[in-house]
Amino acid sequence: MATKKMNLLVEREITVEPIFRDRGGVYGINHDSNFLNEGSKETFQGLNIEMTSSGARKVDPFAAHGVSPWQKALSDDEKDYLAERMGLSSGADFNIYKKDGFWTRYSVKLDRNGLTLDLNKPEDFIIYRYLLSFKDKKIAPNKERSKDKGTYRYALVDAQHIADEGVKEQDYLFEAYDRFATVRNSKEKMYALLLVHYMENSSIKTRPNPDASEKQMSLKIGEIIKMDPGTFVKLYDDPDFATKELLYRALVKGVVRQNGSKFVFEEAGEIGTSVETIDWLKSPKNQAAKAKLINEVKG
């Protein structure tokens, strides 16, 4: 048995949150009948059975289910440590194939109020790992994935992760506006940012107008920052930005054309995708062709 303290249990709070969906009809999204009636419970019992190409298999809650330290595969020593904390004979009790083992009669009941788990407590850590093993069916592994499957009923929400992401988003917002301040008085620079952003986002349907006013361009960039400041920061800081701007300006001007996803030059012929073409333009052996392209775009 493991007697030494291990870094398995962590100071982390996970909330098991119900996923309320607007299903239409006469009931609102938060109405009892839209999820579980008050007092009703949903029971998860026994091991999850996952269908694979080779057939059905049991899902081990202590196998790897993510990249975070509390989602990694448990070693034998860690299972022994957890078993000791739970009053079991050894980590072998967690073997998913053991007859009358720990998981045989294990169950978790959830209601419309969800559950709060402290991963520093052995019993809560086990509940978390058990529910996480159902991530292919009824349990979303995090808040961001909660809408990925219509079968998801609950999401495992990491409060610290959300707080960290909020701080990161705030930092990106400050950084984005700092960068915006360096270009907001230049139509050419703002147009370049809008053009590259348009070319690399298929969801944007309208190509930026180079003749738009400075105010119109400024407002468009402001919309990008409000929607996703991180994207704007990465766009501005992209080490290949100048080369991308050159390629896309050449495309708009008709100096370069596209054949599907491939870029075609008048003399060099078909080069490849945008990534391949950017690399081609950066190559030392193609600097004469790049210089010619710059002149054609300026001309």
Helix (H, G, I), strand (E, B) or coil at 139: strand
**Rounded mean pLDDT, 128-155:** 92
- Taken in order of first residue, the domains within the chain and their CATH numbers are 13-163 (no CATH), 182-238 (no CATH), 239-299 (3.30.250.10)
Q: What is the pLDDT of residue 239?
A: 94
Is the Cβ–Cβ distance between 57 and 47 less than 8 Å?
no
Q: Which amino acid is at 297?
A: V
Q: What is the pLDDT of residue 165?
A: 63
Cα(292)–Cα(250) distance, integer angstroms: 11
Cα(198)–Cα(16) distance, integer angstroms: 38
Task: Measure Cα distances from 217 to 169, 291, 293 in Å.
Answer: 23, 28, 26
Q: What is the pLDDT of residue 167?
A: 65
Q: What is the pLDDT of residue 69?
A: 86
pLDDT band at 4 (very low <50, low <70, confident <90, very high): very low
pLDDT tens track for 191-223: 999 999 999 988 888 999 999 999 999 999 999
**Residues contacting 33, CB < 8 A, separation 6+:** 27
Q: What is the pLDDT of residue 166?
A: 63
Cα(50)–Cα(81) distance, integer angstroms: 28
Cα(39)–Cα(49) distance, integer angstroms: 28
For the cut 80, the answer to whether the pLDDT of residue 292 exceeds it is yes
Is the Cβ–Cβ distance between 108 and 127 less than 8 Å?
yes
**Rounded mean pLDDT, 125-146:** 93
pLDDT tens track for 65-124: 988 888 999 999 999 999 999 999 999 999 999 998 999 999 999 999 899 999 999 999
Q: What is the dihedral of CA 285, 289, 294, 298, to 10 degrees?
A: 170
Q: Answer yes or no: pTM beyond 0.75.
A: no
Q: What are phi and psi of 140, to 5 degrees?
A: -75, 130
Helix (H, G, I), strand (E, B) or coil at 75: coil
pLDDT tens track for 14-31: 999 999 876 555 555 555
Cα(180)–Cα(184) distance, integer angstroms: 6
Cα(109)–Cα(68) distance, integer angstroms: 25
Please calculate the CA angle 23-24-28 and round it to the nearest 5 degrees: 90
Of the chain, the end-to-end C-alpha distance in Å amounts to 78
Cα(107)–Cα(104) distance, integer angstroms: 9
Please choose, from the candidates 232, 236, 260, 244, the residue with its C-alpha nearest in 3D space to the C-alpha of residue 196.
244
For the cut 80, the answer to whether the pLDDT of residue 3 exceeds it is no
